Structure 1
Amino acid sequence: MEYIVIGKVIDTFGVKGELKVLPMAPEEVFEKLKRVYLKRVGGEYVPFKVEGVRRHENFLLIKFKGYNDLGSVEQFKGAHLFLPEKELPKRDEEEFYAYELIGMEVVTNKGKRLGKVKRVEDFGVYDMLVLENEKIMIPFVSDIVLNVDRRERRIEVKEELVLF
């Protein structure tokens, strides 16, 4: 089973066991969240029942069932939250999760190979594709990205709009 990172615990929040989480997936992933998984170093994914999720500024506050005080949740600082890929909400044909784009080959409409997507950065208004050498960054917007082929794992971009 493939697990996908959906957030990172930045810190604790308050004294009632809430965790301050940086979301790394669309908000709808968290709307009906019943459980998440944390991975032990060198070990298995461990499930945690989610008691509640609420927004706080640019973060989410998540409370695990049975963890009701600050001392019980401090151990989770820095941990990543995971979900099995099959539990993620389905996306429309033209929508993508960031993890789907990582590793895709990026080429221009004139056939020039630019490299593979190393990571996807959230710039608020749009996402930015950061390529493997980290010298090329491409806004993931329809004016620049012409086609994303999931099967071929290839992204075609308009060469005239990409700065090298």
Structure 2
Amino acid sequence: MNWYNVGKIVNTHGVRGEVRVMSRTDFPEQRYAIGSELGLFLPKSKEPIHLIVATHRKHKNFDLLTFENHSNINDVEKYRDGILKVSEEHLGELDEHEFYYHEIIGCIVFDLEGTEIGKVTEIISTGANDVWSVKPETGKTHYIPYIEDVVKEVDIDNKKIVIDPLEGLLS
């Protein structure tokens, strides 16, 4: 089964079993909803600890969570530096023209003429739109905005993206 990163437990919060999570998901309302199942991967561990979210709230730049049957700090202290992940079966469906990061990273980007531009290595969230970092075999990285005027086709099954680069975008 494949697991996808949701966030990292960076510390405990208070004495009632709450943990501070540095979130890495675009869907915190869904991932941290009461009753959601997450896998916790501790450093040097291949097998997840299955946890059920009991409570969720925002505090500053963190998501604060408690888990079922973990009512005090002693239950969760050992989870620090653990990575929370969601299993593939719990990902859920996205709307048209929406993709999970793991679906885009690794795709090969081509222009309309079929010339290979490079591979998507990173996705940068800007607030307005995502920007895809595209690294060619040689040369400097290109930054491609995920906007309708530029991205013309995304073929997840074949890991292929076709773009119509704006003037100066690839120079």
Instruction: Note if 1:106 corresponds to 2:114.
Output: no
Contact 1:29 1:88 in 2 (8 A): no
Structure 1's 120 and 10: CA in aligned 2 closer, same or farther, altered over 3 A?
A: farther
Q: Greater Rg, structure 1 or structure 2?
A: 2
9-18 or 80-89: bigger deviation: 9-18
In structure 2, list runs of 5 or more residues that go unmatched.
none
For residues 31-75 of structure 1, what are the alpha-carbon distances to aligned partners after superposition, in whole Å with 9 as ceiling and x for unaligned?
A: 355221012424212211211122234432111223233343233
What percentage of aligned pairs have identical amino acids? 29
Q: Secondary structure at the match of 2:76?
A: helix
Residue 142 of structure 2: aligned partner: 136
* Alpha-carbon distance in structure 2 between the residues aligned to 1:46 and 1:98: 24
**1:55 pairs with 2:58:** yes
Structure 1 residues 140 and 9, CA, compared in 2 at 3 Å: closer, same or farther? farther
Residue type at the aligned position of 1:108 = D
Distance 1:75 1:137, change over 3 A: farther
Q: Hey, which bits of structure 1, 4+ residues long, moved more than 6 A?
A: none
In structure 2, how many angstroms separate the alpha carbons of the residues matched to 1:120 and 1:140? 10
Where in structure 2 are the equivalents of 1:1-164 lying within 5 Å?
1-27=1-27, 28-30=29-31, 31=33, 33-40=35-42, 41-132=44-135, 135-161=141-167, 162-164=169-171
Cα offset, 1:100, TM superposition: 0.9
Instruction: Tell me: CA distance 1:23–1:150, structure 2 relative to 1, closer, same or farther (3 Å).
Output: same
Distance change in 2, residues 1:33/1:26 (3 Å): farther
Structure 1 distance, partners of 2:151, 2:34, is: 31
Cα distance, 1:14 vs. partner?
A: 2.8
TM-score (norm 1): 0.84
Length-normalised TM-score, structure 2: 0.81
CA RMSD, Structure 1 to Structure 2 (Å): 2.3
